[in-house]
Chains A and B, each alone.
Chain A
Amino acid sequence: MNFFMILKVALRAIFRNKTRSLLTALGIIVGIAAVIAVVAIGQGAQAMMIKEISSIGNNIIMVFPGSRTQGGVHGGSGSSQTLTAEDGENIAQDLAHLVRAVTPVVRTGSQVIYQENNWSTQIQGVSVDYPEVRNWTAEDGVFFTEADQRAGARVCVLGATVVDNLFTSASPVGQTIRIRNMPFRVLGVMARKGSNTMGHDQDDVILVPFTTVKRVLQNSIFNNVNMLMISLHSLDDITAAKEEIGALLRQRHKLAPQAPDDFNSIDMTEITNTIGSMTKLMTLLLTVVASISLLVGGIGIMNIMLVSVTERTREIGLRMAIGATPSDILLQFIAEAMALSIVGGLLGVLLGTGGARLVGRLQQWPILITESSVMVAFLFSAAVGMFFGFYPALRASRLNPIDCLRYE
């Protein structure tokens, strides 16, 4: 028998028992669909995180006060009083050969009011260099100036979401909003950035000079900050820059040589690496899930193929009588098992991509379906059919023609 004939016979056998074939292939369908969907969702999220990191700028180092906690994950900011805006200025001046710009970040939250509208949002106290550090500029109006910063002026720049919620029609530039019942003049509106992977809306923010936040909003006499955000000239300098920044801060904080750092710094490559190891873990889990479901699906196929061989004993006998060799019979039943699992695999791919798209639409989640994941799913389902179809096919091929023809 040639290839096309084997294929035709196999497909016909499958379609003869549609319901049974579908139920048999269900294990494969569900297994493949689950893998395709989860991979699509996972890869989409990863691609988006990477894109987002590059939008923050992957040449950024963030320095937090307090000692480094386990695993490089920062606990809570502001727990220590050690990091100041002057530290930042010092870094910008002394390490100018590595550092492009530095901004302190002081965070607070508040209800803000414009006329009869109000909105709860995050207030970030930053320096005039913030737009340069973040690579993010005011689209409408201007950012605040050096003079505003020195004076601790009651001025602000709004994120697009804040504008959406406070202002209905008129341009906010030049208007006055109230933060903690104090009037602030709106200087400008930042360009829209969109939400990040965690669903956090980056445009839901009001930027104010950090001096204003400390003196006016927090009423604080200390000059500590929650974070220093430092951008570098080049990504290549990241290791050197981290070392020099560390050395400078230790010197400024007068730490004894054996004392631990009273700050900790994270750069974007570290975060990228963390995402990488998360992806690896997910891949491992997926492999386990996929293996189990394909195993279950494969056993289902083996079971139904054994039934099929028994049911078609007379057909096997007849085929042998008219000249089918044992290997013809072997191939025929393996082809049938493979056709079953491949059709199941294809349905699984369709179901998986459809499911992933649906999740993507409903949850606003990015979806990435790669050709390689589809190919791997396809090859795996074919392999499952071959593996689990082999034993029933071998049994069929070893049958004796005369016993088959007499079989009732």
Chain B
Amino acid sequence: MLINIQKMFKTYRMGENAVHALDGVSLTIGNGDFVAVMGASGSGKSTLLNILGCLDTPTSGTYLLDGVEVSRMSRAQLAHIRNQKLGFVFQNFNLLSRTSALENVELPTFYNRGFPGRERRARAVRMLERVGLGNRADHTPAQLSGGQQQRVAIARALMNSPPVILADEPTGNLDTRSSVEIMTLFKQLNQEGITIVMVTHEEDIAACARRRILMRDGQIVA
């Protein structure tokens, strides 16, 4: 199993009462899977994805990623895991402004000590071509449409060849046509063996996935 979480809790204390954002979640995801996480607003989808992405730490529970226990790692170790094993696609793209698409895509390799510097540019160009933006390398985010920005973000997520891509509402800010483009791209990547976990509210987007998870009040109900 690539991802294996057991009895995961995430509790926020708000004064007197506690909010159980995750309330005893157990989940396994196999290599090469494509999972859509659905559920009402506030049901804990983002919380789950952030913990899967090693961006957040659970209150209790275990998390084995690629056979390694990560839930008690140091911040620096988690940074290393994120760099090597995980690619992120955000709802609001999170590209560096006033920075070219090419440099945005290169960014993860600067934090990857093993990456040979002289291959950086060539690989970034290849990743941009892969998402269909080979001719937009010099454009800054402000000069790109939302769909194009999200594709730059996907190219960036692929830069260090991670086994897993995590996407929190990747089409949430996009129109239907761009959403379809992004999903086509995700399906291709999944066919090439990359595991994808994606949060979405939309039925037709979720339909692209191989498997669905439904959350309610911090628990997986289906």
Chain A residues in the interface with B (C-beta under 8 A): 1-2, 5, 16, 314-315, 317-328, 401-402, 405
Contacts and interface: CB of A to CB of B under 8 A. Distances in A.
B156 interface: yes
A291 B111 CA distance: 38
Contacts, number: 58
Interface residues of chain B: helix, strand, loop or mixed (majority): helix
B110 interface: yes
Contacts of B112: 323
B53 A1 contact: no
A335 to B, nearest CB: 13
Interface residues of B, number: 24
Given A1-B111, A402-B56, A315 B76 contact: no
Contact of A402 (B50, B107, B160): B50
Nearest to B85: A323
Given A1-B111, A325-B111, A318 B55 contact: no
A2 B114 CA distance: 12
A325 B88 contact: no
A322 B83 contact: yes
B75 A322 contact: no
B79 A325 contact: yes
Contacts of B79: 320, 323-326, 328
B50 A1 contact: no
B80 A326 contact: no
Interface in B71-117: 75-76, 79-80, 82-84, 88, 90, 94, 96, 98, 107-108, 110-112, 117
Interface in B150-188: 156, 160
A325 B117 CA distance: 19
A402 to B, nearest CB: 5
- Shortest Cβ-Cβ A-B pairs, 6 listed: A323-B83, A323-B111, A325-B79, A325-B76, A322-B108, A318-B94
Given A326-B75, A401-B55, A321 B88 contact: yes
29 contacts: A1-B111, A5-B110, A315-B96, A317-B94, A319-B111, A320-B55, A320-B79, A320-B82, A321-B53, A321-B88, A321-B94, A322-B82, A322-B83, A322-B107, A322-B108, A322-B111, A322-B156, A323-B79, A323-B82, A323-B111, A324-B79, A324-B111, A325-B80, A326-B75, A326-B79, A402-B50, A402-B56, A405-B90, A405-B94
A134 B53 CA distance: 88
Contacts of A401: 55-56
Contacts of B80: 323, 325
A315 B75 CA distance: 17
Of residues A1, A320, A325, which shows the largest number of chain B Cβ atoms within 10 Å of its Cβ? A325
Interface in B32-80: 50, 53, 55-56, 75-76, 79-80
Contacts of B117: 2
Contacts of B110: 1-2, 5
Contacts of A5: 110
